[in-house]
Chains A and B, each alone.
Chain A
């Protein structure tokens, strides 16, 4: 009984093997192309995942990650009881809501208005100007912000903004050290840096609008403002929705580059966000390696849930999702 079954099985497995070889022979080049990237991904992206267990351990450098004793959920308890963490979480969400409320609407408005400019030369010059800041790093851009908002000192006469304030008879303001203004500075500098680039998506959508719609509206006596509100705006709404959802997906993600280059000890109460806080308590001078890993894990999980929800909604909207 045994031998016939093995005989019956072996040709089948052999053909499976043969099929595998044939398949590989057919597509070997595709697999070869994917290989370097796959290795990089496994080593550098998934390789970090094993370090996540630190969130549940008490790390001792001598024992290494695997050898360190388990600590259960104690780090998560510490995290919830840490007032600075709660503050950073709150700041992150508030700053992102500001960026959404002002930045996002500004992007749509800018796209619509640039599209209304009918002198080609002016339009293309404006576009060239507004895209430019996107390509500067936040270090450079933060440098520009600092130079403009600098408080007068013994060695210097202060930034342009304070020079103007003084010449108008006011007292200079130390912008980057006042907690009340910091979120505003983050929001506005973010608008200037990214609005032009973000508008590109809407230009693409506007380009897809059927021109006959405008012609028939013109015959019906619509003026250009009416056309913008009743034709252009509704037509780009799907893109607006996608961008809105993508933006929402980043609700818990803070812009480390921006905040780290602009903040100081004076504005921690309103400006300290999760990524800067995680940095400060770990590599940036602190030793809370496990706590920061735990925070990172929670942030990632929260973010992942939001992104998956967002992608579901995008799929409903009949536009191309991210996955």
Chain B
């Protein structure tokens, strides 16, 4: 992004100052800004609608700004439902555990495999990447977890994803191309062992990359409901927040539980849509909190299919 400012800037700036905005500029800005609005307006709408008092909410409208004050009744209704609190705890704990394990396993393996001069590493690399395109599928996975006694247990949401193949490739490329070979060699000349190189040279240099990958994997784990849905099924005490959110969106009984709970507390019977929106906001919140850090990192080469220049 940055370098485009240097691309013939003197010329373009003079164009701009001489003619001001021409039709082309207007098109560019209108197009981009409209698309940006299309991306964020839904979230804004949901946020505003979920804090609008009931009397204002039922009037409908575009909800560009909260009218009639802020009312958190839907959030109160949500947070007084027991399964929500439990699912939040499940989501937080499994996100922390799964992310920690995954980053540890994936980054060490990626570093080792980036040492292609060591025998066997090329084979291992090919074996890992092959898995990106070929897997046993749902039922073989189910049977495997059954044999490993992982089925219907908490750990099925933590352990099987330990090796993240997408981030394995990204990290391997980083270790191969972005760490100067001279640096490692110089350290070795100074008497550093492989262990020393890894902990004293490679890890400090890769700190920000690993932080970024950690965030990305954490977001994936936070959003994950697939493992619960497929391999745990109906143990409600293990359901993650993403799954509760999904149930709120599709499952009438879950919705009724929350609504009746709210009615039991003497609140207005909340409209299903408004409750959904409040749930969406709850699920979005943690991601919004880490988004500034995500954005800072992913523009600097944390993308798959990096093009060699």
Given the contacts A27-B194, A41-B127, A140-B283, A52 and B136 also touching, CB distance less than 8 Å:
yes
Complex-state Cα separation, A224 to B308, whole angstroms: 27
Verify if B96 is at the interface (C-beta below 8 Å from A): no
A140 partner residues in chain B, CB cutoff 8 A: 223, 245, 280, 283-284
Q: Are B113 and A142 in contact (CB under 8 A)?
A: no
Q: Are B144 and A51 in contact (CB under 8 A)?
A: yes
> Interface readout for A248-279 with B: 1 if CB under 8 Å, 0 if not?
00000000110001000000000000000011
Nearest Cβ on chain A to B211's Cβ, whole angstroms? 16
Interface size class of A (residues with CB under 8 A): 35 or more
In-complex Cβ contact of B307 among A223, A239, A283 (8 A): A239
Q: Are A129 and B307 in contact (CB under 8 A)?
A: no
Verify if A156 is at the interface (C-beta below 8 Å from B): yes
Q: Are A323 and B129 in contact (CB under 8 A)?
A: yes
Given the contacts A132-B291, A320-B307, A48 and B115 also touching, CB distance less than 8 Å:
no
> Interface readout for B35-52 with A: 1 if CB under 8 Å, 0 if not?
111111011011000000
A126 partner residues in chain B, CB cutoff 8 A: 32-33, 35-36
B138 partner residues in chain A, CB cutoff 8 A: 278-279, 282-283, 292-293, 296
**What is the size, in residues, of chain B's interface with A at 8 Å between Cβ atoms?**
115
Q: Are B305 and A215 in contact (CB under 8 A)?
A: no
User: Which A residues, 96 to 149, have Cβ-Cβ distances below 8 Å to chain B?
Assistant: 110, 113-118, 120, 122-123, 125-133, 135-137, 139-140, 142-148
Complex-state Cα separation, A159 to B63, whole angstroms: 12
User: Which B residues, 97 to 148, have Cβ-Cβ distances below 8 Å to chain A?
Assistant: 104-106, 108-113, 115, 118-121, 124-129, 131-144, 148
Nearest Cβ on chain B to A287's Cβ, whole angstroms? 11
The binding surface of chain A is classed by DSSP as helix
Nearest Cβ on chain A to B218's Cβ, whole angstroms? 11
A110 partner residues in chain B, CB cutoff 8 A: 32, 35
Verify if A71 is at the interface (C-beta below 8 Å from B): no
Complex-state Cα separation, A40 to B158, whole angstroms: 12
Q: Are A203 and B1 in contact (CB under 8 A)?
A: yes
In-complex Cβ contact of A192 among B39, B62, B198 (8 A): B39
Q: Are A116 and B39 in contact (CB under 8 A)?
A: no
User: Which A residues, 266 to 313, have Cβ-Cβ distances below 8 Å to chain B?
Assistant: 278-279, 282-283, 289, 292-293, 296-297, 300, 303-304, 307
Nearest Cβ on chain B to A252's Cβ, whole angstroms? 11
In-complex Cβ contact of A137 among B120, B135, B223 (8 A): B223
Sample (28) of A-B pairs whose CB atoms are under 8 Å apart: A31-B112, A41-B131, A48-B144, A51-B136, A51-B137, A51-B139, A52-B137, A54-B143, A110-B35, A113-B32, A118-B12, A128-B295, A131-B298, A135-B219, A139-B249, A140-B280, A143-B249, A143-B280, A144-B46, A160-B63, A203-B4, A204-B303, A214-B7, A214-B8, A224-B12, A296-B137, A323-B125, A323-B126
